[in-house]
Amino acid sequence: MMRKKINFSWYAALAVIAKLLLTTTVLPAQTVIEPVIAGDFADPSIIRTNNQYYAVGTSSEWAPHFPIYSSKDLLNWKQTGYVFDKAPAWTSGSFWAPEYDYHDKTYFLYYTARRKKDNVSCIGVATSKYPDKGFVDQGIIIDYGKEAIDAFVYPEGNTRYITFKAYGLDKRPIEILAYKLTKNGLKVEGEPFSLLKDDQKIGLEGQSILKKEGYYYLFYSAGNCCGAQCDYNVRVARSKSFAGPYELYAANPLLMENEYWKCSGHGTFVKAAGGKDYYLYHAYNKKTNVFSGRQGMLAELSWPEKNAWPVLKEQSGPTLNRDLKLNFTKPEIDKRWQWDFRNSTPKILQQNGQLHLSGNISKNNLSGIALTVRPFSGIFEATTTVTNTNNALKGLVYYGDAGSAVGIGISGNEIEFWKVENKTRTVLSKLKVSVIVPLELKMKTADDLSLMVFFKQGNQEWQNMPTKEKITINFLPQWDRSPRIGLHFNGSVSQDADFSSFELKY
């Protein structure tokens, strides 16, 4: 019997092709996009100096004001401090949208805050010889109508212009206006002029301007910035003249909702060491949403061809273990702690492995002092150890505002599980204990937004504090900021709360 000769090289090639077809029918899962600055870090501004990157973001009603981060590679960031330890005298709150500028060997920080006398949002300016410390407030630079927010400085030759969002709180349409800055950068001169109006009534703010091949490109954010119902996105318009008129890009938006993130917006650009331009902006993680806030994201800017409209492509930060463990062995207070400055003035002292927390509490504050950190998720487990005994309430808190908080603590010999909702304080459960300190406390959340609290003494097992009904945390998030987790004190100025540890796991 004759056998047909097989061409083994052709047969092998067919086998390889068949294998490729089989392996490419299933698409690989999309790569998860991680933030570069995790947790609530809205409206970021970025600057590069001396081969180092610095970023500053909104702090809203938390103090210290305007957190500053530094990085050597745009991906790995570490907090270095804040712009203001104390609120400038003219301000009452809403510390939003800080913006870096540098010239004449001086760093300028233009920022939004509400004016104390009338609660109108104005733009102030602070200066320093350093990008991450030493800022001194120079007062209000722009007071315009019922709202002036979101400053951005654009240099044009020897002239600098400051742009900002105006109106929106009266009957006139939102628009981006610009003033000429004085040479020292501390005042505006002349009359403002309009760059772009919100004719489509979709929102217009958070602008950043670049020039490319004879065009001025005005990047801006449209839509609702904040909260669970946000629909923010990044758009662009261009003009041959800085003053306009600006042509809207027909294929807007450039950044919008994807599988993992939503409500992208309000960023600024930086030129990296390699020559590429990157956009640092914020977005909500679709899974953790308002419980982790608007997180710091990075996108690469590219131009497909000459005179083409730009493209922004999301970049992923590194996957990091963001758990936190503090033991208070050093006298320096950790830079991550923040508090609600409108409703409390905490006193913090670290010595001999203890953190001592006390301070003044405003008259209408039912929640007490919350010394908190920015969370990276709404699903967490927090623990602390209380080491002193008095009648003040001392423990853990999950804090949205003075009128929206929940916690567990010990007062005298009673453990108390409490919440403040709709400005009403409720004790959810109480339990007397014989051995008072040291007392370990734990707070734990679940995917369904339920909350459970526990206590532990000595070598005992964790014991749950029971309640009549399931406790949820959906009432905690505020419109423009995420709730925060931390240590709690509610007592008189003469008392304090002592802690030997704080740990946060996600």
Q: Which residues contact 486 (CB under 8 A, 6 or more apart)?
A: 337, 370, 371, 372, 373, 396, 397, 399, 502
Above 90 in pLDDT, residue 23? no
**pLDDT tens-digit profile of 198-228?**
999 999 999 999 999 999 999 999 999 999 9
**pLDDT tens-digit profile of 34-48?**
999 999 999 999 999
Please tell me the predicted confidence (pLDDT) of residue 151: 98
Say how many CA atoms lie within 13 Å of 295 toward its Cβ.
Answer: 28
Write down the H helix ranges in 153-308.
none
Catalytic residue list contains 43: yes
Query: In angstroms, rounded to a whole number, what is the distance separating the alpha carbons of residues 66 and 81?
Result: 9
**pLDDT tens-digit profile of 251-292?**
999 999 999 999 999 999 999 999 999 999 999 999 999 999
Q: What is the number of other CB atoms lying within 10 angstroms of the CB of residue 261?
A: 20
Q: Is the peptide bond before 155 cis (omega within 30 degrees of 0)?
A: no
pLDDT range class, residue 125, cuts 50, 70, 90: very high
Please tell me the predicted confidence (pLDDT) of residue 6: 34
Rg (CA), the chain: 26
Q: Is the peptide bond before 477 cis (omega within 30 degrees of 0)?
A: no
Q: Which residue has the tokens 């014989």?
A: 434
**pLDDT tens-digit profile of 471-491?**
999 999 999 999 999 999 999
Residue 15 belongs to what H/E stretch?
helix 8-24
Q: How distant is the alpha carbon of residue 131 from its chain centre? A: 19
Q: Domain residues of the chain, as ranges?
A: 45-315, 324-505
Please tell me the predicted confidence (pLDDT) of residue 9: 42
Write down the H helix ranges in 234-311.
none
Please tell me the predicted confidence (pLDDT) of residue 30: 46
Single-letter amino acid, residue 322: R
pTM of whole model > 0.85? yes
Above 60 in pLDDT, residue 464? yes
Asked if 291 and 477 count as a contact pair (C-beta separation under 8 A), the reply is: yes
Query: In angstroms, rounded to a whole number, what is the distance separating the alpha carbons of residues 283 and 305?
Result: 28
Q: Are strands 324-326 and 91-103 parallel, antiparallel or unpaired?
A: unpaired
The CATH number of domain 45-315, selected from 2.115.10.20, 1.10.1200.10, 3.40.50.11740, 2.60.40.790: 2.115.10.20
Query: In angstroms, rounded to a whole number, what is the distance separating the alpha carbons of residues 334 and 313?
Result: 35
Please tell me the predicted confidence (pLDDT) of residue 434: 87
Residue 13 belongs to what H/E stretch?
helix 8-24
- Please state which CATH class domain 324-505 belongs to: mainly beta
Degrees, nearest 5: CA angle 373-379-380 = 55
Task: Output the six-digit token pair for 174.
Answer: 């939102």
Catalytic one of 34, 61, 205, 498: 205
Please tell me the predicted confidence (pLDDT) of residue 172: 87
**pLDDT tens-digit profile of 127-173?**
999 999 999 999 999 999 999 999 999 999 999 999 999 998 888 89
The alpha carbon torsion through 425, 431, 433, 436 (nearest 10 deg) reads -20
Query: In angstroms, rounded to a whole number, what is the distance separating the alpha carbons of residues 400 and 278?
Result: 33
Q: Which residues contact 460 (CB under 8 A, 6 or more apart)?
A: none
pLDDT range class, residue 24, cuts 50, 70, 90: very low
Report the share of the chain in percent with pLDDT over 90: 92
**pLDDT tens-digit profile of 388-408?**
999 999 999 999 999 999 999
Please tell me the predicted confidence (pLDDT) of residue 7: 40
pLDDT, the chain, mean: 93
Q: Measure Cα distances from 26 to 13, 19, 29, 32 in Å.
A: 21, 12, 9, 18
Asked if 384 and 495 count as a contact pair (C-beta separation under 8 A), the reply is: no
Catalytic residue list contains 175: no
Please tell me the predicted confidence (pLDDT) of residue 162: 99
Residue 209 belongs to what H/E stretch?
strand 205-212
Please tell me the predicted confidence (pLDDT) of residue 21: 35
